[in-house]
Structure 1
Amino acid sequence: MLQKIIIATTLTMAVTAAAQAADDTYNLNFNEAVQQAVADGTLDGSVKFYLASKGRGKIIQSGVVTNKKTNSFGKSPEVACDWVLRSALIQLQNTAKKKGANAVTNIVSYYKSKETRSSTTYECHKGAVIAGVALKGDLARL
């Protein structure tokens, strides 16, 4: 009985520690990540992505949000963040194509509904077990 209590306590402490693990913010090159995803076929290239830029083309739908997470355990921030960004971009690409758009413009990082605007980087948050990227942008026809 005592052994079961010790195991349960240890597991509870481990889960609590993992849940409270650091959530570090990384600002990584957006265009490089998009170009690599197109080059290796993750994205088909039919939809263009533009950070923090207004006024490109006719806006079809504004304020489209994607919020993706991935397992980051044992992965470097660059690998985990690239993986989760690709997932977010795939969702935006598919949504744009369904709506008749060929671009996503005015993209901002949107982690926990807080906008972070950059013309060069996207924001990724990586903890001990989960990495996340949230983006908000406008679907447009160029």
Structure 2
Amino acid sequence: MQVKAILAMFMFTLLPSASHATNLMYMPFETVLSKAMLAGRLDGSVKFYLAGNGPTANQQLLRTNVISDLGTNASNKSDHDACEWVLQSNLIKLQADAKRVGANAVTNIVSYYDQHVRKDLNTYECRVGVFVARVALRGDLVRLPLSD
């Protein structure tokens, strides 16, 4: 029995890490943002803008290069569902960070997986492994003038 256990441990060490991201996905940002708003996970007090999409004038920069790098359990979820869930978790964290400093928007959002910047006007990057899905974002916390 010990031989089987040792053999199993040896074979397991040859496999890639179970938490290592195996699938790279580019997912639509606005779709997930809308779902989070409809579900009440985001309260609408903070706006989110991917780099290149946000307002450029009349904003007060409060914090630059704020990072949210969260993962979620990907077991028993499709890669798509896990990626949507983990983006929502990151947006919830960024909303809390923004409120804490008096910001009402997060602008210049880029994917920031392993500190590698990926800019896209419509999508975010998600990495999914056997057990974990991960999204990393970087953005600026700003105060925009209230619109009429």
Which one of 6, 10, 16 corresponds to residue 4 of structure 2?
Answer: 6
Which one of 101, 106, 109 corresponds to residue 107 of structure 1?
Answer: 109
* TM alignment of 1:34-73, pairs within 5 A: 34-53=33-52, 55=56, 57-73=59-75
1:111–1:135 contact (8 Å) kept in structure 2: yes
Q: Per the alignment, in what secondary structure is the counterpart of residue 74 of structure 1? A: coil
Question: 1:56-113 CA distances to partner (integer Å, 9 max, x unpaired)?
Answer: 5211111000100111123211110011111111110000000000000000000000
Distance 2:80 2:25 in 1: 9
1:18–1:129 contact (8 Å) kept in structure 2: no
Q: Per the alignment, in what secondary structure is the counterpart of residue 31 of structure 2? A: helix
Distance 2:88 2:65 in 1: 19
Distance 2:7 2:41 in 1: 43
Distance 1:24 1:127 in 2: 6
TM-score of the pair, normalised by structure 2: 0.87
More helix by share: 1
Q: Per the alignment, in what secondary structure is the counterpart of residue 118 of structure 1? A: coil
- Number of positions where the alignment pairs a residue of Structure 1 with one of Structure 2: 140
Distance 1:74 1:103 in 2: 33
2:21–2:133 contact (8 Å) kept in structure 1: no
Distance 1:12 1:38 in 2: 47
1:110–1:134 contact (8 Å) kept in structure 2: yes
Following superposition, the deviation at residue 24 of structure 1 comes to: 1.4
What root-mean-square deviation, in Å, do the aligned CA atoms of Structure 1 and Structure 2 show? 1.8
* Distance verdict in 2 for CA 1:64–1:22, change over 3 Å: closer
Match of 1:123?
125
Following superposition, the deviation at residue 15 of structure 1 comes to: 5.9
Any stretches of 5+ residues in structure 1 without a counterpart? none
Misfit runs of 4+, over 3 Å:
none
Report sequence identity in percent. Answer: 41
1:69–1:130 contact (8 Å) kept in structure 2: yes
* Distance verdict in 2 for CA 1:68–1:119, change over 3 Å: same
Q: Per the alignment, in what secondary structure is the counterpart of residue 124 of structure 2? A: strand
User: Does residue 95 of the first structure (1) align with residue 65 of the second (2)?
Assistant: no
Distance 2:12 2:111 in 1: 31
TM-score of the pair, normalised by structure 1: 0.90
* Distance verdict in 2 for CA 1:98–1:141, change over 3 Å: same
